[in-house]
Amino acid sequence: MSVQGWKYYNHAVIPVAPPYVAADMQPVRSGEVWKTRGTFFARWTSNFDCGYETDWWYMIKDTPFDLQSMKSSHRYKINKGRRYFDVCVIDPKEYREELYHVQVAAFSDYPTAYRPWVDEGAFKSSIDQWSEFITFGAFFRESGELAGYALLQQKDEKWIQMIVQKVDPAYEKYQINAALVEKTLSYHEDFLSKGGIICDGERNVVHKTNFQEYLEKLFGFRKAYCNLHIVYNPEIEWIIWLLLRFRKVLASCDRMRLVHKINAVLEMDRLAHDRGIS
């Protein structure tokens, strides 16, 4: 069951609209969001790009990308990526097998605490739903092999979401990530010059990654600070209160997959500082 203005994601419901649009809180106040089976909590943000530092943010790019104005060391990395890879918009249905192999290779580099398992059939079938995305493929020039991909989705006239970027770790030394991001930004040059925003997502407490810092340092992305809010399904709220009492014990067991997911929710709870509905 879907709730208007909200979508289900990993046992949570989150707003469909970009964060600069105020979330419709009525489905949360009325309890309608809990009718979606398996929903443990609702999560949303407010006060987007407030102008002062908070504990939560979106990583955004809202200025045109200018390679020539960058530090020489940063230009070197980007130009190296451009030398080794051809990056272009592709029809993902023509590259199901290659995309699957990139996905498997990328996940193989994840820590075991949150390393996903890729169901080959499900992944290849999901590509049929990628028509709503722009898919960029990075092809290694020496072999022509697809070594990475990126998906982006335009939410409205102002907001483009970076959905996912996955690369084969064997090609990272050739700056494949730089090649993909550079193409993503240059492809949307007009969009950015007209005040559009490209967003890599929110602060990540589940995956230990430096990708947002990488975007900030190399490509001029910035943190758009905001306030995080979480409210729990009344049926499981008592469990959250109980788990909060055992935070230190759970933290010591973080390498366990389920415990890692629980710790991520508890960390968001700590950062939210607000259990109510604003």
Per-residue pLDDT at 145: 97
Q: If you compute the radius of gyration of the chain from its CA atoms, what whole number of angstroms results?
A: 20
With tokens 């939560």, the residue in question is 56
Per-residue pLDDT at 275: 42
Tokens of 87: 């990056």
Q: Which residues pair with 149 in a beta bridge?
A: 137, 166
Helix axis angle, 72-84 relative to 176-187, nearest 10°? 90
Per-residue pLDDT at 247: 84
Per-residue pLDDT at 114: 61
Per-residue pLDDT at 276: 43
Do residues 165 and 180 make contact, with C-beta atoms less than 8 angstroms apart?
yes
pLDDT < 50: residue spans in the chain: 275-278
**Is the Cα torsion angle 176, 179, 181, 183 positive or negative in sign?**
negative
Classified as helix, coil or strand, 260 is helix
Give residue-wise pLDDT tens across range 33-57. Answer: 898 888 999 999 999 999 999 999 9
Per-residue pLDDT at 62: 96
Per-residue pLDDT at 111: 66
Give residue-wise pLDDT tens across range 87-135. Answer: 999 999 999 999 999 999 998 877 666 667 778 999 999 999 999 999 9
Per-residue pLDDT at 207: 67
